[in-house]
Amino acid sequence: MRGKMADRKEQMGMKEIRKQVVPAFETEGVVEKIEPHGNGHINETYRVTCRTEENGIKQYVLQRINTDVFKNPDELMDNISRVTSFLKEKVEKNGGDPLRETLSMIPTKGGGTLWKDGNGNYWRMYVFIDGTVCMENVEKPEDLYSSALAFGNFQRLLADFPAACLHEVIPNFHHTPSRYADFNRAVEADVCKRAEGVEEEIRFVRDREGDLAAISSRLEDGSLPLRVTHNDTKLNNILFDAATGEGLCVIDLDTVMPGSSLYDFGDAIRFGASTGAEDEKNLDLIACSLELFEAYTRGYLKGCGGSLTAQEMRMLPMGAKLMTLECGMRFLTDYLQGDTYFRIHREGHNLDRARTQFKLVRDMEEKWDALEEIVERVNKE
């Protein structure tokens, strides 16, 4: 989950988008319709439908990038360009369809990937991939397995990509010790005088300080490889083939950065293997489902196709625990600071979110031996 901050630049109406923005890109045909698309909370997204002279339909995805969240859109698009170009070559080499299995950008008429309007807004455009659906929630273990297979395949195809050349579009995004430093500053400042009411939650985080550098320290000493990471591995960031139900294309590449495969695995487990909603108030409903953990692990390892190291394999449960703890810590930090980052819909919403994450962490700890056994068993299959 990323920031709630609204992009403060003046927004365009639909007529202006049709008249000014779409013509800046190398589209085919005449615009018939422009409509809002998807459920994203960061960028503005539209589906553009055009009709060609041959009476055919061409569809595109047009997005206005939120520069309050992504402060350097040129670096962001450089990352996406590099990764998608690399993926297209790999997919084509493997006999796949690069136009369906990865995102395809539409260039501007000036030959770039971004167009800047008169208000300072940055726009980009992709080919719309027909015959696909997007799922918001896990309805059965097979859904999670399919998404894991797609994210694992994403990791495998990019295993030999030089991750160090990518820009860090959000600095220290998953550097957990840095998040912990932010958390401690929020506790000490206590600008909203809320710390006294969450002493138990503060203690929960501080009791686990020894775990916080488990991934970052190993990235720094080289015992974990630096990889291309997606950093937002939710179910709705996969396009599924509408006919087969198989995960087809990984989307929303805005947070693609150098990092650890454990980030992507862990965040997917945090979201997908929980038995309750991220903001569930009744903590009795929150647990880490071993069935869902196994489904995701099985799909992810199959998708990775043996590209993970032995150290990465051993640390998969730690990835799940640490990403969940980090997310809970971020929710609690935001609560202490007055709910300035994550979008809230009720009083104490961020605190409820933090508590669900901490309950999930505690449940993972209690099931630690089972989590490790699942990884070891699935790896041997």
Q: To the nearest whole number, what is the mean pLDDT of the chain?
A: 93
Res. 26: pLDDT tops 80: yes
Residue 238, φ and ψ in degrees, nearest 5: -120, 135
Q: Is the pLDDT of residue 54 over 90?
A: no
What CATH architecture does domain 14-129 belong to? 2-Layer Sandwich (3.30)
* Residue 294 pLDDT exceeds 70: yes
- Evaluate if residue 4 carries a pLDDT over 70: no
Average pLDDT rounded to a whole number, residues 338-365: 95
pLDDT at 261: 98
Per-residue model confidence (pLDDT) at position 10: 56
How many angstroms separate the CA atoms of 30 and 65, rounded? 24
Q: What CA–CA distance (Å, rounded) separates 149 from 155? A: 10
3-state secondary structure of 8: coil
* Mean pLDDT (whole number) for 213-239: 96
- Report whether pLDDT(5) > 50: no
pLDDT of amino acid 258:
97
Domain ranges of the chain: 14-129, 141-380
pLDDT band at 158 (very low <50, low <70, confident <90, very high): very high
- Stretch among 79-93, 130-144, 186-200 having the lowest mean pLDDT: 130-144
Please report the pLDDT score of residue 40 as a whole number. 67
215 and 322 Cβ atoms separated by less than 8 Å: yes
* pLDDT beyond 60 at 181: yes
Equal CATH topology for 14-129 and 141-380: no
CB 26 within 8 A of CB 122: no
pLDDT of residue 98: 95
Contact assessment for residue 163 and residue 219, using Cβ atoms and an 8 Å cutoff:
no
Q: Are 306 and 186 in contact (CB under 8 A)?
A: no
Please report the sign of the dihedral spanned by the C-alpha atoms of residue 81, residue 124, residue 237, residue 278. positive
At the top level of CATH, which class does the domain 141-380 belong to? alpha beta
Per-residue pLDDT for 1 more than 60?
Answer: no
Predicted confidence band at 316 (pLDDT cuts at 50, 70, 90)? very high
